[in-house]
Structure 1
Amino acid sequence: MTVKRRITADEHLLDLRHREEWKQKAAWRVMKIQAEFVEGFDTLEEADLDDAVAVYGSARTEVDSEEYKLGVELGRRLGEAGYNVITGGGPGAMEAANRGAAEAGVKSIGLGIELPFEQGINPYVDIQLDFHYFFVRKVMFLKYSCGFCALPGGYGTMDELFESLTLVQTQKVGRFPIALIGTEYWGGLVDWLRGRMAADGKINREDVDLLLVTDDLDEAIAHMKPQR
């Protein structure tokens, strides 16, 4: 059976094929974007999250995999350390981290995103927000998290990783610790950043040190400690 592809709000906003439609409905769409920010801020302020850590990772992580088990353990141990957990609310690694947070009894937040094909919010989320726009969602991650842990992931994880890195490097945000969990998975990327990007002078060598790469969950969680 063929699944019909939906046109998302991001596509209406960004795709040149919808330019004329945008011109006709520009004011309405700007209000929609504003409303999405307001709902996000209101919901997450009322949630009184205190310290929360964002956990990113692949929606394709299989439930019976070691990566999924690692995500559950990470979410649980973050909760036991006093952190609430924020994910993208989807399946795979996101579900695993939300599941661990739920087991630890802390707030388990899912910030979902509209996609052309259904993904849905996982059952371990107790505070749910659904966004039409990726950029609004990313603001919520950064505003309400004190740090970021990345499990193995794909393009979405890389997008969130480098968005955070850019804001830290350019000092648009203060201390925002980032831990990449899985040296085998992330090691090649960090080697390339150091051996190519930094070696060619495209970034400073100390910029690579903005990333902690580890297999030790205790080290990753200790790295999240907020700076008061």
Structure 2
Amino acid sequence: MTVEFWTVSGAPSPWRAALGMAFKGLDYDVHMLSAAQKEHKSDTYLALNPRGTVPTLTSGDQTLGHSIAILAWLDRTHPGSPLFGETPQEAGQIWQRTMDVFDYLPPATSAVLSPIFFDGAAEATDDLLAAADTLRSELGHLSDTLNDAPYLSGARPGAVDAVAFPHVRLIQRATETKQKIMHDLGLPGLSTISPKLTDWVARIERLPNVARTFPPHWTEASQEARQ
């Protein structure tokens, strides 16, 4: 059954769901919406997802508009390479970690990156320095989780990795493209913050199908910079 997937380039929530499909090796048709043109608020899209948010996934008569719901649905419809583990113990631990990351990492990341990427912040204000401290703490929690396993979900990539990766990769992107302010905030590079997280990012990126999930505008920007 065909899977249709609506997303916005670089948005963390749909990126999570796309990673879930990548980890399972699933094919899907992508509908890339333009946030600048507010296509996610168009009448056509609102008829599909009245909240006007991304992602939206449809398959047959199923329509889902939340990344975590999509990850859970994927495990029921395509049980191979489970995202939430195979045993009750694994499921409990992965759900606990998934929701912990979902509750704390996105706001910590947004508090630092939104002013930089969207508001053009160029100075390390007191508010940004405090936000950076919180973000380092959250990254420390992730790093500690990797002490005993190669992935945040355990021995194989799963839901925790799908939820965390977009935010960590956006932080890495900021350290590469907004070097001065990230340095001033004490976030000079992911390898300096946590070598274990750097290795984990590289491990995720080497997985089959993950490259397809990356924001298209990152590739386009790199190509323009080389010209």
Q: Give the structure with the higher percent helix.
A: 2
TM-score, with length taken from structure 1:
0.29
Task: Normalising by structure 2, report the TM-score.
Answer: 0.29
Greater share of strand: 1
